[in-house]
Amino acid sequence: MKSLYHRTITPLARFGKKWHWFLAGAMLALMFGLSVTSMATESAIVDEVAHIPSAYSYLHYGDYRLNPEHPPLMKDLAGLPLQFMNLKFPDDQPAWTTDVNGQWESGWNFIYHIGNNAQDILFWSRLPILLVGIGFGVVLYLFVMRRWGKAVALLTLFFYTLSPNILAHSHYVTTDLGASVFMFLALIAYVKFIEVPHGKNLFLLSLGLAGAQLAKFSGALLYPILLIMTVAVVMTWQTPRYWFERAKLYIGGLITASFLSVLWVWIYYIPHVIRMPQDVQERLISGSLVSDNVAGIGGVLINLSHMAVFKPLVQYLLGLAMVFGRVSGGNVTYFNGEVSNQSFHMYFPELFILKTQVALLILGLIVVAVALAVFFRRQSLGVLRRLATSVRNRLLAWTLGFFALFYFAVSVAGNLNLGIRHILPVYVPLFILVAAGTVTIARKLSRTQWRPMSAMALAVLLLWYGGSTLAVYPSFTAYFNELIGGPANADKYFSDSGVDWGQDLVHLKQYVDKHPEINHLALDYFGGGDPQYYFCNRAYDSQGRLIATAAGYDCSHSVYEFWHSEYGRYTGQYLAVSETFLENDRYYAGLRGDKGYGYLRDMKPIAKIGYSIYLFKLY
C-alpha cells in the first residue's frame, strides 16, 4: 500500500508542475475577488479624503496645489477613471481658490457635499490601484519563476496574494502599494545592471529609481541602500580586475542612473504644474514649510519657482521637504496601552510580528536558522571570503534582504508610528526569500527519511497561512494573528491605520439597519467617511435644488448624532466609537484634565463593527 505521502503530496506536486499557470491565475483571481468585494462595501479611509480630490484635479486641471506631500504616480492612476464620470468639483470654494493646500476640505466637498455619488467615486478610483496589485502579481510570478523556478514562484505568489496586509492596501487610494511595487522593480533593475552593466540596464535602473520616487517619497531610501550594496559589489566582485575599475563601472553607473532618475521625475511633474499659477505655488511653499527644520528651504524654493523650467522640480522638492518635516514632527501613537506623542522603538517590530501570519514567521525562522547553520558550517574558507562568495553568487537575495533590513531599521528609528503600511515594502522581498529557502529545504528533506513528515508539516503551515487570512474577510485592514487571539483583541495593542482607518462606516450603517431597536445612535467616528452622507437625508432649498454644501443634510429624522469625547459622559443608550478615538483619547483626555472615554474602556462593547468601530449599549 502506498504511503499517505505518495497518495497526496506527490500527485499534488505533479499537478503543480504541469498546471502552474492555472494555479497562478487562480491565486490572482482569488486576490482580485477578495479585494474587489471588500473594497466595494468599505467607506473611505482617512487618507483617501486628500488623495482622491488630488487624483482628480491633477489630470483635470494640470494643477498640483492639493496634497503636494505625496508624489503623483498612484494618484494619477486613481484619477483616470474619474475623468470619464460626470463629476462636479468644488473649484469655486475657498479650499481650492485661496486656502493653502485645502486638500481635506476639497475632499469632503468633492466626495460628499456637492452631489456626487461617494461610493462610485471610491470604487472607481480604487480599482486602478487594485489592478496595479494584480499586474504586479503577474510580474512577480514571471520574475521569480525565471530566477528560482516554478515551485518558488508559486509559493511566492501564494504568500503575496493571501497576505492580509497586501490585500488591505491594494485597494485604497494611497501610496503604500505603489511604494512596495516600484521599489521592488527598482531593486531588480539594479541587480540586472550589476550583472550586465550595459547602457540599456542603466537606463532601466534610472526608470526604476524614478518610479519608486514617483510612487512614494520613501523611495529616496533606495539611493543609500543601493550605494552600500554597490560598495559591497566593488569589494567582492572579481571583474573588472582592479577595484578602481569596478568602482568606476558600478558606482559611476549608479550615480549616473540616480541623476537620470531625478531628471525623469522632473519631467513627469511638468504636466502637473503646467497650469498652476505662480502665486498659488508660492503660497503653497510658504504655507507648507513652517516647521523650524524645513522653514529655511522655503525661500530657496520660491526663488527657483520664478523660473518656469524649475517649477516641476520645485514641486517635487517641496513634497520631499514636507515629508521630512512630517517625519521629524512625529504623531500621537497608541501602543500596548500607552499613548504618547513620541515614537516607540518597539512599535514596528511588535507590529510586524503580530500582523504577519504565524505560519510565515515560522517558515522565516526556519529558513534563517538553516541558512546560518550552512554558512558557518563551511570551514574551507574564512568568514569574509565565504561572505564575499555568497554576495557574488546570490546578489539578488542579498540585495532583497539588505533592502528589507535597512528599510525596516529606518522605520524603527523614525518618529512616525502609523501602521504596517509604513513597512509594507519589506514584505515582497520577504515572500521571495522565505519561499526560496522553504523550497530548497523541502527538496533536501525529500531525499531523507523526513520526507513525509516535512511535506505534511509544510502543507499544514500553508493551510494555516491562507486560512488565517480568509477568516478575517473582508476586514483585512484590521488583521492580527493568533499570537494575540486575532483582530478582536487589537485594542489592547494598537490603533490607527493598523486597525482602524475609517473603513467600516458603511458596515456600521448596515448593522444599524438590521437592528431596529437602535433608534438613536451617537457616533464618534475616525475616518474618511461622512456619517451624514450615510445616515441623513440630503437637504433641498425652497425651489427643490440640492443644497450642495456641508450644510446640505437633513438629520432631523436620522438615528445619527454627532459625538466627541470632550462632550462628557454620554447619557443615551447607544454609543459607537472608532477604536482610534477610543484608545488615543487617553492622551487627549489627559491634556484636558478629564477622564474622557475611561468609562467605555471598562465596558464590553455589544459589537465590534469590522473590528474598528466599537458599539456600546450603556443601559
Contacts of 589 (CB under 8 A, 6+ apart): 565, 595, 596, 597, 598
Task: Give yes or no: residues 128 and 8 share one domain.
Answer: yes
* 103: in domain: yes
* 73: in domain: yes
Average pLDDT, the chain: 94
Task: Give yes or no: residues 353 and 500 share one domain.
Answer: no
* 394: in domain: yes
Predicted confidence band of residue 513 (pLDDT cuts 50, 70, 90): very high
Please write the tens of the pLDDT for every residue from 153-199. 999 999 999 999 999 999 999 999 999 999 999 999 999 999 999 99
Side-chain-facing half-sphere of 112: CA atoms under 13 Å: 24
Q: State what percent of residues in the chain have pLDDT above 90.
A: 84
| Rounded mean pLDDT, 37-56 | 97
Task: Give yes or no: residues 389 and 291 share one domain.
Answer: no
Please write the tens of the pLDDT for every residue from 190-232. 999 999 999 999 999 999 999 999 999 999 999 999 999 999 9
Q: Per the omega criterion (within 30 degrees of 0), is the bond before 271 cis? A: no
Task: Give yes or no: residues 360 and 399 share one domain.
Answer: yes
Task: Give yes or no: residues 17 and 137 share one domain.
Answer: yes
Locate all alpha helices (DSSP H) within 220-339, ordered by sequence: 222-236, 243-246, 252-273, 278-288, 295-305, 311-329
Q: What is the pLDDT of residue 380?
A: 64
| Rounded mean pLDDT, 535-545 | 88
pLDDT at residue 290 greater than cutoff 60:
yes
* Rounded Cα distance, 334 and 584, in Å: 6
* Rounded Cα distance, 324 and 326, in Å: 5
Please write the tens of the pLDDT for every residue from 20-42. 899 999 999 999 999 999 999 99
Q: What is the pLDDT of residue 73?
A: 98
Predicted confidence band of residue 379 (pLDDT cuts 50, 70, 90): low
pLDDT at residue 403 greater than cutoff 60:
yes
Domain limits at 388? 347-470
pLDDT at residue 239 greater than cutoff 90:
no
Task: Give yes or no: residues 579 and 502 share one domain.
Answer: yes
Please write the tens of the pLDDT for every residue from 313-353. 999 999 999 998 888 777 899 999 999 988 899 999 999 99
Choose the final residue of a domain: 157, 172, 187. Answer: 172
Task: Give yes or no: residues 20 and 144 share one domain.
Answer: yes
Q: What 3 state SS string does 229-259 have?
A: HHHHHHHHCCCCCCHHHHHHHHHHHHHHHHH
Task: Give yes or no: residues 582 and 515 share one domain.
Answer: yes
Please write the tens of the pLDDT for every residue from 82-112. 999 999 999 999 999 999 999 999 999 999 9
Predicted confidence band of residue 9 (pLDDT cuts 50, 70, 90): low
Choose the final residue of a domain: 147, 172, 197. Answer: 172
* 127: in domain: yes
Task: Give yes or no: residues 507 and 570 share one domain.
Answer: yes
Task: Give yes or no: residues 36 and 67 share one domain.
Answer: yes
Residues 295/322, Cβ–Cβ less than 8 Å: no
Exposure string (b/e) for 320-343, b if CB count within 10 Å is 16 or more? bbbbbbbbeeebbbbbeeebeeeb
* 1: in domain: yes
* 500: in domain: yes
Beta bridge partners of 538: 553
pLDDT at residue 554 greater than cutoff 50:
yes
* 227: in domain: no
Q: What is the pLDDT of residue 1?
A: 40
Predicted confidence band of residue 388 (pLDDT cuts 50, 70, 90): confident
Task: Give yes or no: residues 136 and 4 share one domain.
Answer: yes
pLDDT at residue 473 greater than cutoff 50:
yes
Q: State what percent of residues in the chain have pLDDT above 70.
A: 97
Element (H, E) at 210: helix 199-215
Total domains present in the chain? 4
Task: Give yes or no: residues 33 and 113 share one domain.
Answer: yes
Q: What interhelical angle do 295-305 and 311-329 show, nearest 10?
A: 170
Task: Please choose, from the candidates 194, 188, 195, 228, the residue with its C-alpha nearest in 3D space to the C-alpha of residue 209.
Answer: 188
* 562: in domain: yes
Quote the radius of gyration of the chain (alpha carbons, Å).
Answer: 26
Task: Kindly state the cell numbers that stand for 483.
Answer: 499570537
